[in-house]
Structure 1
């Protein structure tokens, strides 16, 4: 039986990452930095990986970060993924960037007590604003890291007092890990606001972390319409109207 492969792409931040995996494992991974070079980097890396397999017959799907994140980066990733899926007739799966970033933490399993912690990935928006959501992590039957969203994704202003109060109610005395390219600017606030929280430095979304999610979504037929799908940019006007509502959605669960 011939091996089935999946190409995985993330261009949502300053890091461009590409992975090639089978149903069970990652067989190739590469990342580069420099958001102004994503267009050329993505195409070159992906082409190099695909050249190692009979991709016209053995590529069974493409996964790509869905956003929020860098507008330009998301457009580049989406355009490449859609073009490849359209030309080869393979399914497309999108993974929310905050979810992908949260799943990246499973590579640090020996260092963190994540099964007993809440996970708060943060994508830098501007000034003291971040794109974020709160998750709980676990493993699936195939030992892939999976995350359960406890809030919707929102653009949160870290200095907003009402948002801070909601966070305190949601997190309580639980251990909270927060990370991503927007996380360091939260440290001074969280050290006082959430004493049980811990900042994880130098963690960014990695394309290889989406393998389990992509394989599962394709097996369930939960794929995107290649012709019409667009990334989730989380425009400012969409975020501000519901920031406190989405953070408070978990209050009835804890």
Structure 2
């Protein structure tokens, strides 16, 4: 039974994740995200830094940079949304749930699963998307709160250092997906039962590898709560969108997964 679950989850991961061992080995042409267009003359250098006008221009320029970075980030992350959806459909037990519960699990768990996957290519200074583009830590500190970014990079690097294979990453991702304490779920008992089964499968998989005995506990007792904490903080970080969504042109799928209002132009 455990073998069948491990095989099904691993196959789902290999079919639908952009960060498998094979794909990341082939990801050689890394490139920075697209450069921001130059600012209008009113915010270019040359204004008096002490003047209120200059301070206002600087603040406006920072907001424009932040909006640009978010749009680039969204464009590179959006393909992973559909991959996570397809992965979820093939996790044993997921499709038995109501559509409402499935939607909640994907929406709330997406960022945590994406962060698990992107950790394989994380460094101390950048995160690399599945298409080879990367975003720097400095750019992310402009998008997010610097303290949140520090926690995010710490998680990614520490998870990367565990050197998980595809099957272990797949099972860990599935335990993140089937989390019974997400707000709004109606069938938590069923979800918890599937979650517990995935946990036992992950433990068995790790033990069969002959890995360090503490690896499973490091994942389940350390990394899993840390990741969920990052997911909660990420939702708080999205408050910026609630105020500035009209300035952005986001892929509809990205806006939907994070419950961000969409401009009419985005819907066409």
- Aligning the two structures, in what range does the TM-score lie when normalised by the shorter sequence? under 0.3
Higher helix share: 2
Report the structure number with the largest CA radius of gyration.
Answer: 2
Give the TM-score taking structure 1 as reference length.
0.27
Give the TM-score taking structure 2 as reference length.
0.26
Higher strand share: 1
